[in-house]
Structure formats: C-alpha cells, structure tokens
A and B are shown apart, each in its own frame.
Chain A
Amino acid sequence: MNALFSTIGQNLFLVFGLLACAGAAVMILSTSAVHSVLGFLFSMIMVAACFLCLHAEFLGMAQLLVYAGGIVVLFLFVVMLVELTKYKEKSLFTTQFKWSLPLVLIALGIFAVTLKSNLFGPAAPVALSLSPDLAQGLSATAQNAQMVSRGLFAGFLLPLEILSVILLVALVGALVLAKSERVS
C-alpha cells in the first residue's frame, strides 16, 4: 500500500494531467452546455495543479484566479443568457464529424510517435531559484513569484505594456459589441 502511495506521489503530475484531459473530454462530449462549463472548470483546476507540480507556484495561483475565478464565471453567465431550452440543439456535432475525428486521432498519433523517439534531457536540479543573497528568508513560493516578476519586468516589459493596452481595447470592445442597440 505504501509503495502504491509513493508511486502516485512521484507521478502526481501524470494524475493531474490525465484528470485535466478527462475534464476536457467531458467538456467536448456532454450534451448540456452547463455540464460542458463544469468540465472546463474541472480541467482548469487540474491544469493549475499541474503548474504547481512543475514548481510554477505563482502561475498556478494565477491560473486558479483567472480561469476558475473569472473566465468560467463569464462562460457560465453567457450560457445562462444564451442557451435557453426553447432552442434545443438540432444535433450535437457538425456534419464533418466523421472526417475530422480520424484526422485528429492521426495527428495525435504522429505527435506521440515524435515525442517517443525524441528524448529530452532530465529536469534542472533546482527549480527556478533566486541567487542566494536575494533569496534569504523567502519561502520557495515567494522566490518563484519574485523570479517571475524579475523575468517579466526585466525581459518582457514592452510586451507586458502592450498586453495591458490590448486588455483595455478588449474591455471597451466587448462593451461596445454586447451593448443593446437603442432605437432612436
């Protein structure tokens, strides 16, 4: 029993990753849109857990806040607004269903074969850590957050500012698009 637990502990990433894929499968296969959103939520939480397994603590928390907290709620609102039962879906899948699914499976197979034949090196011995004089008295999580902020503001300052402008444009654009038209 202990051996089983330690095996699971070593392969925690695999467990979370497969659960995320299962949530994604529920998302694209379920008949009700609300169930799809719930599958999406489960998948996003599991992806956040995967991030934590890869020692990206800051991004894992950001993923939980942005996706599970923001985007899923937005989706749920729009599903409630739009997806009324009076317009029952005529059929769940598109007509090219029979063609697209084998294509996707073939592509996945090609990827799997490629990844199996290309072996990448082992993990870096220490997950992202600050230099010792900066890291004094900080927990691993705080170190990761500081590390990401240094990388972001030192190397990616211009993209970050462009991103903020894009978010503003998206905000205003969404407001304009979704506003009801008044008859004057």
Chain B
Amino acid sequence: MISLNTVLFISSLMFFIGVAGVLIRRNLLIILMSVELMLNAANLNLIAFARYSGTVEGQAFALLVMGFAAAEVAIGLALAVALYRRKDTVQADDINLLNG
C-alpha cells in the first residue's frame, strides 16, 4: 500500500499542471479544462484522507465537489459560447473589454 504522502504529491503535481494551464494558455476552453483538473486534484486529496482516516466525510464531500464542478463547467461553457458569438474569439488576450 502506498503512503499518504505519495497520494498528496501526485495530486499536488496534478494541481500545479492545472495552475500552469490557467497561467500560460490563451484558449478559454483549455483554461476551463485546467480548472476542472485542479478540482479533480482536490477531490483526490479528499478521497485519500477519507481512505487513510477511515471516515466517510471525505468521500461525501468529494461527491459534492463533483456536482459543483459540473455546474461550473456548464456556466463556463455557456459564457464561452456567448463570448464567441459576440466577439468571434475565445482567446483570453482578446477579451479586454474592461481593460481601461
């Protein structure tokens, strides 16, 4: 059986890949996917804690997080489609309406 630290390290690696995706990519859809990836890394942590402490709260909470992620991605993709319809682009750098 692997140790808890291994799980935490894998999930932090995944989280930081998500952070890098949000910071370096220009495509709005890939930024959204990276946010999903970060939520998944957090879920992995919750489930690992549930496994290693032998309690159920972590798994219940992970299920709730999964539901919130689904709601978030629905709204995010609808925003992306609406933006594409108005401005013909989904590149984050081109969406600077509030930029002074």
Given A89-B91, A104-B19, A163-B68: A59 in contact with B59 (beta carbons within 8 A) = yes
CB atoms of B63 and A59 under 8 A apart: yes
CB atoms of A83 and B26 under 8 A apart: no
CA–CA, A94 and B92, complex, Å: 9
CB atoms of A93 and B24 under 8 A apart: yes
- B99 at interface by CB-CB < 8 Å: no
CB atoms of B2 and A120 under 8 A apart: no
Partner of B80, one of A78, A90, A166: A78
The total of interchain contacts (Cβ-Cβ below 8 angstroms) comes to: 255
- A138 at interface by CB-CB < 8 Å: no
CA–CA, A24 and B35, complex, Å: 11
Chain A contact residue count (CB 8 A cutoff) = 90
A99-124 vs B: 1/0 string, CB under 8 Å? Answer: 01101100110011001101111111
CB atoms of A28 and B30 under 8 A apart: yes
CB atoms of B24 and A83 under 8 A apart: no
CB atoms of A74 and B77 under 8 A apart: yes
- B95 at interface by CB-CB < 8 Å: no
CA–CA, A21 and B26, complex, Å: 21
Interface bin, chain B: 35 or more
Interface of B is mostly: helix
CA–CA, A81 and B77, complex, Å: 11
Interface of A is mostly: helix
A2-13 vs B: 1/0 string, CB under 8 Å? Answer: 000000001101
Chain B residues near A96 (CB-CB < 8 A): 23-24
CB atoms of A28 and B21 under 8 A apart: yes
Chain A residues near B63 (CB-CB < 8 A): 59, 62, 148, 152
CB atoms of B20 and A104 under 8 A apart: yes
B6 to chain A minimum Cβ distance, whole angstroms, is 6
B73 to chain A minimum Cβ distance, whole angstroms, is 5
Partner of B52, one of A37, A95, A124, A148: A124
The A24-76 residues at the B interface (CB cut-off 8 A) are 24-25, 27-28, 33, 36-37, 40, 43-44, 47, 50-51, 54-56, 58-59, 62-63, 66-67, 70-71, 74-75
CA–CA, A75 and B73, complex, Å: 9
Known: A11-B2, A78-B80, A104-B23; 15 extra A-B contacts, CB below 8 A, are A14-B10, A27-B30, A28-B24, A40-B36, A54-B48, A63-B43, A71-B73, A81-B84, A107-B16, A108-B13, A115-B5, A155-B57, A156-B57, A171-B74, A174-B77
Interface pairs (14), CB distance under 8 Å: A51-B44, A58-B59, A59-B63, A59-B66, A78-B77, A94-B93, A108-B13, A120-B5, A120-B8, A122-B3, A123-B51, A128-B56, A147-B56, A170-B72
